[in-house]
Structure 1
Amino acid sequence: MPTPLFVVGKHRSGTTWLSNLLLDHPQIAGIQHEAHRGIHESAFFSHVEGRYGDLSVFSNYVEFASVVSRSDYFRLAGVSFDELMELYPSTYAEVFRAVMDQYAEQRGVKYWIEKSPMHTHYMRQIVESYPDAQFVGIWRNPVDAAFSWLKRQEGIESPLQRLRELGRFTVNKYIADVWTRDMKKECPERVYIIQYESLVDRKEEVLDDICQFLNVATSKVRARYAANTSYSGKREEQRCPKYEIKFVQWLYYSGLRIVPGTVFQVAKRFAQKREPLPHWFFKLLEQPQDKVR
């Protein structure tokens, strides 16, 4: 049976680049498409699981299957509404596992890979559903990650707005990083963490270490899709106001460390709140079927 592999980490930390590199390994497969810059996020545990209630109720399962069978992710996995209905009765996690196992088995690989930054907050839940799951986390310098994210936002111009949004991102990144480190302590055999900067400077060595962790042969890989990056060879902090840089550094390395742990437990639960399905769930719906691979 194929093994689930989840790439986790805060947005703008290199999760897409790392996943696209791993997808080039002959023993790893995952859902990908150029419209999604390579690997496609499922957001299954963060946005889909639980949305349609108890799936043992037939009407709930029909609603669930009718929606997800139209989504980009399940269409690219090659699963139809009728095939999903054949899995009834199943839980959310059982359906996702069946779909991904079939996808991997058809390609004769050892791992299927899934990458959704939101799933960083669901690692414990994923482990409970899939006791054999493996995780590769990627950590990026908080200043670079924060300003990389800010560059992609529109309508944030005033200094006060920038500080507010930088603060919000930094808090969320800190929580995600703490969550990943906690899981690493609890399940060291399941979680491997790399640094974005190390992947930039020593890509082959870092990828070889990941292969060793996954117990697969090392292989020269390359990302086959255009990078979803703002990286230009310079640290983001070299192009940003110093007071904003100091603010992010203080908040991440000092300010948040004095906050009681119970506050972050509440924040983690808040981060797991159910949100509307993202607009990109159905990006390919209107495209001709022969363009969907």
Structure 2
Amino acid sequence: MYGSSGSPVFVVGSSRSGTTLLYSILLASGDFAVYEAETWLLESYAVRYGDLTKAENRKAFIAAWIESEQFKRSGLSAEAFAAQLQALATSYAGVLKLFMDGIASLQGKHNWVEKTPGHVFHMEELARSFSDAKFIHLIRDGRDVASSKRKLGWSGTNDNDPMKQLIWAAKGWEYAVNRGRSAGAKPGTRYLELRYENLLTNMDEALNKINLFLHTDITIAQVQQCRVGALGKNNSAFANDGAVISRNALQRWKSDLSPVEVAAINIAIGKALSTLGYEAPTLSTALDLTTRLKVVWWSLIAPRVFALRRFLKHKTVLGRWRRSDSRGG
């Protein structure tokens, strides 16, 4: 059983990496408050409403927050929570604590898990704000992530070129993974790294790692009986072949991507895949010179564009006019 200290747990990772599944597995323990949404407080709301120590910003944020779907799913009283925010909220991490503590208290729980994939970029701030926080970073094969993001139009580029969309999505995965691993490596960070594929193929091992890290006692039986989130009734997460979780999402890239696309994505993120233990197949498909040059150029420019976008979004007033992102995992 997870301790009664109230130490928060944050599930982070690139979007489309299976963070919702992992979050649902943690909820299967019964130790954590159930909140089936992503707060996006540090990644989107902080950008839109700015410094909460300024009265006008705090007022605008509170008005928007209590009308948001994120708040409506909490079960909290809008009037009471608005008053609490007005009196106590000076930072978005502080809002997050008040919000999740309130949900936990309402449900008679001491502990909570927050799952916003985009908070992988805010681990340092969260670690400073929650000195006892624990982070679980879920990583999935970048080829599956890129293929999935391209299908959803989340590639990171507005270009209609399918190859460019794939490469930018892949580099976005790499960018998020690197940020999470870098933050997790900092001294004092309570950090666990898991592979999505391991959740599907070796649930026992994955649960052992989770239980050791969180001091929980989550069992396969609890996971099988859970009907929360990604483990909900009639959800495709469950397998019909004897496995605990369906493996239908495993290595979809092998059928989704053409040989040329596989060769291209290996140029873009092959080193990252290898570092993370993913095997890149030896391919006989050769890219023509034009395509190869495009892939190399996109691979060079994409992470720089991502970094610039984040700087403009979070460090300048330009971010206030950008539409909030709400892409989940």
Q: TM-score range by the shorter chain?
A: 0.7 to 0.9
Partner of 1:176: 176
2:236 matched to 1:247? Answer: no
Shift of the alpha carbon at 1:140? Answer: 0.9
Number of corresponding residues: 267
Tell me which moved more, 231-240 or 141-150. 231-240
Matched residue, 1:270: 309
Greater C-alpha Rg: 2
- Whether the 8 Å contact between 1:127 and 1:133 is mirrored in structure 2 is yes
| Deviations 1:58-85 (CA, angstroms, capped at 9, x unpaired) | 3332211111001111122214144222
Do structure 1's residue 19 and structure 2's residue 26 form an aligned pair? no
Match of 1:10 in 2: 14
The Cα shift of 1:95 comes to 2.0
Percent identity of the aligned residues?
25
Q: Which stretches in structure 1 are left out of the alignment for 5+ residues?
A: 33-39, 281-293
Q: 1:224 is matched with which residue?
A: 232
The 3 A distance-change label for structure 1 pair 192 and 124 is same
Equivalent runs, 1:8-87 vs 2, <5 Å? 8-32=12-36, 40-77=37-74, 78-87=76-85
Where relative contact order (Cα < 8 A, 6+ residues apart) is larger, the structure is 1
What's the offset of the Cα at 1:115?
A: 1.3
Cα RMSD of the aligned pairs, angstroms, is 3.2
Match of 1:237 among 253, 269, 274: 253
Distance 1:250 1:5, change over 3 A: same
Structure 2 Cα separation of the partners of residues 56 and 45 of structure 1: 15
Amino acid at match of 1:243: V
Shift of 1:231: 6.3
Conserved? CA contact 2:12–2:119, under 8 Å: yes
Q: TM-score, normalised by structure 2?
A: 0.71
Runs of 4+ in 1 over 6 A off after TM superposition: 228-231, 255-259
1:30–1:114: 8 Å Cα contact kept in structure 2?
A: no
Give the alignment's TM-score, normalised by structure 1: 0.79
Instruction: Identify the range of structure 1 (51-60 vs 228-237) with the bigger mean alpha-carbon deviation.
Output: 228-237
Counterpart-to-counterpart distance in 1, 2:139 and 2:218? 22
Q: Deviations over 1:186-225 (max 9, x none)?
A: 1465110111111110123312321210112233324225
Q: State whether residues 62 and 85 of structure 1, in contact with CA within 8 Å, keep that contact through their aligned partners in structure 2.
A: no
Aligned partner of residue 193 in structure 2, secondary structure: strand
Counterpart-to-counterpart distance in 1, 2:15 and 2:140: 10
